[in-house]
Amino acid sequence: MTFSRFFFTLKFIVLIVHYPNEEFCVQTLLVTGGAGFIGSNFIRHMLKTHEDIRIINLDKLTYAGNPENLKDMAADPRYRFVHGDICDGILTDALVRESDAVINFAAESHVDRSIGKPDDFIQTDIFGTFQLLEAARKHGIGRFIQISTDEVYGSTEDGCFREDDPLMPSSPYSASKAGADRLAYSYFVTYRLPVVITRASNNFGPYQYPEKLISLFVTNALDDLPLPVYGDGLNVRDWLFVLDHCEAIDFILRKGEDGEAYNIGGGNERTNLEITDIILQTLGKPDSLKKFVEDRKGHDRRYALSIEKIEKLGWRPRHPFGEAMRETIAWYRDNRPWWEKLKSGEYLAYYKKQYQTL
């Protein structure tokens, strides 16, 4: 080999090491919490848009997990459901071993429930994430996406949170998510595990368990039941259509940079009263269904995200808010058997306790 050829080859090797393939390619993806609201929408999105992917869905099927959410995908040979707990180290070890990447959606996700009984939040959201990270470290996983939330920043009266702002979570739910968010980051810093963290704003869309603002209010309104507005109803959330969120996670899985966190927002800030009015007007229901009830303890006033970082990478939401709301409301109107079944048993006991004054 000539001298100049040797240097050319050396330069080429250095380039490959420093600028690895920009896109991460996944063949077998372990999705946890895939029987829940966002996870099920995400699995459907991935199976529809990536022909060669295989997905393992590990889900404990808590009250929020529902195999019916993926009934249409169950027979797909690329999809496998495993009923189990992310806190089970033996199981996570075995499943991570056969995967190239992990996306951890599994969590206890409802703020009000975390205020009543935080135990499961600490266990699943923190310890469960730890078990997955340990398995990922042991098997040298290619990519680990931790699904965090905008709530880790806490509340802000003005301005937008950026990824390097301090985390000031205010509920047991958001504190448990912040713990998992930083634990995942520590595995990047300490062990060079290829971790990427996403922090999305409030999601809405089909298959959302009817305990969250939009899914609860739409289904209550359809039954002419009261819509319980906490406090003065002027708390603000940034609403993100679930399909936009799924596309953003798919994008981050391929293009996100190791060790980075990415905000994912919809750019649709609305007060809870504005959301309530949209629902009542769309369904042609009377204003009298609106009922002001006792405020949530520690209720965050406003969440707002800067999405400049992910925009620079090449993603932005593409579903207009009004259209996505109409589509979502129509979905609950047309899928009554899906949610009617859920509003029974444990749900009714929770509802009675949570909304005593209704």
Task: Indicate which residues carry an active-site annotation.
Answer: 150-151, 173
Residue 213 found at the interface with ligand TDX (CB under 6 A): yes
Cite the DSSP H helix spans in 117-212: 119-120, 129-139, 172-191
Q: Which stretch binds ligand TDX (CB under 6 A): 23-31, 64-72, 113-121, 209-217?
A: 209-217
Pick one of 101, 216, 310, 329: the residue that binds ligand TDX (CB under 6 A). 216
Site residues for ligand NAD per CB under 6 A:
32-33, 35-39, 58-62, 64-65, 85-87, 105-109, 124, 128, 147, 149, 177, 200, 202-203, 209
Q: Which is nearer to ligand NAD, 202 or 220 (CB)?
A: 202
| Host H or E run for residue 81 | strand 79-83
Binding string to ligand TDX for residues 106 to 145, with x set by CB under 6 A, is what?
---xxx----------------------------------
**Smallest gap, in angstroms, from Cβ of residue 267 to ligand NAD?**
15
Contact 131, 104 (CB under 8 A): no
150: left (phi over 0), alpha (psi -120 to 50) or beta: alpha
Contact 278, 326 (CB under 8 A): no
C-alpha 228/C-alpha 243 separation (Å) is 27
Pick one of 59, 100, 125, 151: the residue that binds ligand TDX (CB under 6 A). 151
Q: Which residues of 230-251 are buried (b: 16+ CB within 10 A; e: fewer)?
A: beebebbbbbbbbbbbbbbbbb
Q: Which residues of 114-149 are buried (b: 16+ CB within 10 A; e: fewer)?
A: bbeebebbbebbbbbbbbbbbbbbebebebbbbbbb
Pick one of 78, 212, 302, 343: the residue that binds ligand TDX (CB under 6 A). 212
Pick one of 64, 229, 248, 280: the residue that binds ligand TDX (CB under 6 A). 229
Radius of gyration of the chain (CA): 21
Residue 202 found at the interface with ligand TDX (CB under 6 A): yes
| Footprint on this chain of ligand TDX (rule: CB under 6 A) | 109-111, 149, 151, 202, 212-213, 216, 228-230, 235, 237, 272, 296
